[in-house]
Amino acid sequence: MPKVSVKGTVMPASPIRKLVPFADKAKKDGRKIYHLNIGQPDIETPETFIDAVKNANVKVLEYTHSAGIESYRQKLSEYYSKYKIQVSPDDIIVTTGGSEAIQIAMLVCLNAGDELIIPEPFYANFNCFTCTAGVVIKPVKSTIENGFALPPISEFEKQITSKTKGIMICNPSNPTGYLYTREELEQLKQLVVKYDLFLFSDEVYREFCYDNKEFVSVMHLQGIDNNIVLLDSISKRFSACGARIGALISKNKDVMASAMKFAQARLSPPTLEQIGAEAALDSPKEYFERVKKEYVERRDFLVKALNKMEGVFCPKPSGAFYCIAHLPIDDSDKFCQWLLESFEYNNETLMLAPATGFYATPGAGTNEVRLAYVLNKHDLEKAMICLEMALKVYPGRTTADYRTLTISNKE
């Protein structure tokens, strides 16, 4: 029998989705599952999006321009200007989700064997995208003790070799919810200038910044326009994960010209979804205010509930809708599978994402899980009851307790 490729063999399974078969089995057995494993919001997609798709006067569902519908790109440039990000429609290529934007960016800017520095934990699919491109991740570890703040720049510089071609961040962060400060981004800029690196930034969650903290885009950094590649998506902004509309943005003309070749090769992004996305940009301000208020309430409840549990610690995130929690467990992969296979409380359980998949360093994240607070508060309450009960009876429970540590931002 023919063998699959080396890439097919080494491609990592998604930590977010690899436990789905166990969840499906639990559901067939009649158990209710609270899904905190995946960033699929339960917030309704804006009516402006849905109505635009329903009312689209389309007789033939044609290809669009490979860069995306011009009127949508124009409207996107106006949207970015509200965040003091000055880009033209020619600086934007609409992609089939943020995932394609990341893949194209890596294929355009990096060669096989090149190295990309990423603070970990990071978005799990970065592991997959770099595997596809033959790129090597050089991780710089952030820590739960300080809420996953950007590691010291000296740690980044230690990783730089002749093969280093870029640095990648997600801001606000998936999976930690950390929001990078202007000072931290300015420090990254110094490295980018010193070593002439690309700076890739996934800014999908810019709408979701809390506690009156400032969102700073890499596009706000002066003097490095040709080094910056911005990656974006409507999935979380408009709770439209299934629409698969993203964007690759750069003022580097060579990057955009090369990216267009890849965009042409995949023909075009989805037509109806672009129509919906364009209309969604007219969603009233109240929509985002309401959504943001909801996420803050969920965050505050979840973090408080977690930190009340014996042996558990969760720093308070300032953005996105994720957090990483330390649990008193021996192995997060085993624990998350056990929740689905062997545990139930009142015929209910929960699904979490083991944090091991959000690291590149072997062995990291074994006592951490990522939680997405994408469920209503009632369901979050039920999920936290399940988690607390599960930790009391889990066979692999450990004695590690973060309450013995002095942690500055502990609630």
Query: Nearest Cα to 87, choosing from 288, 255, 330?
Result: 255
The rounded distance, in Å, linking the Cα atoms of 238 and 354 is: 26
Domain positions in the chain are: 6-44+286-404, 47-280
Give backbone dihedrals phi and psi of 165, rounded to 5 degrees, phi first. -120, -10
pLDDT of residue 407: 45
- For residues 139 and 116, what is the distance between their CA atoms, to the nearest angstrom? 8
Got the DSSP string for 144-184? Answer: GGGTSPPPPHHHHHHT--TTEEEEEEESS-TTT-----HHH
What's the pLDDT score for residue 400? 63
Is the pLDDT at 402 greater than 90, yes or no? Answer: no
Quick check: 404 pLDDT over 60?
A: no
- What confidence tens digit (pLDDT) does each residue in 77-123 have? 999 999 999 999 999 999 999 999 999 999 999 999 999 999 999 99
State the pLDDT confidence band at 401, using cuts at 50, 70 and 90: low
* 113-140: average pLDDT: 97
How far are the Cα atoms of 139, 296, 313, 318, 319 from residue 409, in angstroms, in the given order? 24, 17, 11, 12, 15
Q: How far apart are CA 189 and CA 221, in angstroms?
A: 7
For the segment 126-152, the average pLDDT, to the nearest whole number, is 97
Q: Is the pLDDT of residue 259 over 80?
A: yes
C-beta of residue 175 within 8 angstroms of C-beta of residue 140? no
Domain 6-44+286-404 classification at class level: alpha beta
For position 289, what pLDDT does the model report? 95
Cβ(252)–Cβ(225) under 8 Å?
Answer: yes
Tell whether the model's pLDDT for residue 236 goes beyond 60.
yes
Half-sphere exposure of residue 230, counting CA atoms within 13 Å on the CB side?
28
Residue 177: what residue type?
G
User: Which residues partner with 170 through β-bridges?
Assistant: 202
To the nearest 10 degrees (0 to 180), the angle between helices 271-280 and 47-54 is: 140
The second-level CATH assignment, the architecture, of 47-280 is: 3-Layer(aba) Sandwich (3.40)
